[in-house]
Structure 1
């Protein structure tokens, strides 16, 4: 090992895999089964417990707790894992738990994610790439969070709920049901408040793509017929639109939670 800096006050148990360029500041604890990727930095007072792996160049701030046993009464000590991707920023007091035998046996976090102070990633969650959790975000176990999702401060997410790619969740929202890709949800209890137009523009979607998506959204959440019937109608009308197809597939694969809808489907805005 080379170019590794470990403060003398920290404890790195024998067996831990520490890649080149890792920096471990004061008063950290790294378990024997942990893996720290190239260029990782634990600033100070960080605990990396259990079977936790952290990708290259991820930076972890004080008092983060990564890999301690799941907060689940059914957990019986099974050898589950927590896998954190590369180039993430994990701020003060963040907690992340490994999976369980009743779920995926692993909790996964993608690359280029930002977790602000005191946010949480529960057991068996699957977090995509470029995800942002603001302060005190609280997903329960088994949640799916797609790429480029932004979750506002203090939001709570029900277990098994899914949030599709590029969605935006307003601060203090209580998410009980699945949020479609590109959707925007807010409120307690949350409702679908339109499309994440600002996020779409920031991600480089064209005006034509956004226009087509808005049209499809209005048809999808109109008052006529059932949601299943409207999904079929929108699928036929927008058969060549990839981002519309992504939303329709998300709705079709819903199983544990219902799909979040506007408060007044007839007046749905986008």
Structure 2
């Protein structure tokens, strides 16, 4: 680990070598953490090196680094206990993984963070759940950056298709999380889903993608949430009536 860290921090080291060292750190964490949980802290210190990569190295190797980080989250997340380790991983998602090349991988990584935080690290939930809004905001920022880029008609068509696919994937993911068992996850996912749905037209998402997203994902989810809320309200009202001293007979009759 020390050797890899020295390469990553090196000022005169070739970018390809630095990228190989960064992916090496992530692979080392992936493979050793499940078998050596006692060594988690020194291993996970390597995560702090990844967000510090030179921008050109991070960009040129974003896809490979994103894939390795996602694999680390999937395989070793039960062993990521320290708050600084979570902060490093979240920083990586926000600073390095959110690119057109890696958007889908970043969404997948965010879902893994949410699942782990909800199950095992409740103190990290607020920071982790912010990722859901960051994912929606990134699409808006990327779309705005393309508006004045002087794209050719062919390039504009390509980027519009990509934006539509990213938006649809985000909406599908948020719709699943909006039905999560954890109340805070449901709330954050619903807020991000609302933002994504309301901003679709301004983003320039293709009409057929908007229709698919709204008809197949957003509206059914909202209907399901409405039914759950109505059912919960009905149960609460019935319990309140049953708990009133003068209404015992009425409550039993309803049962």
Would you call these one fold, judging by a TM-score over 0.5?
Answer: no
Relative to its length, the structure with more strand (as a share) is 1
TM-score, structure 1 as length reference: 0.28
Query: Does 1 or 2 have the higher relative contact order (CA < 8 Å, sep 6+)?
Result: 2
Relative to its length, the structure with more helix (as a share) is 2
TM-score, structure 2 as length reference: 0.29
When Rg is computed on C-alpha atoms for both structures, the one with the higher figure is 2
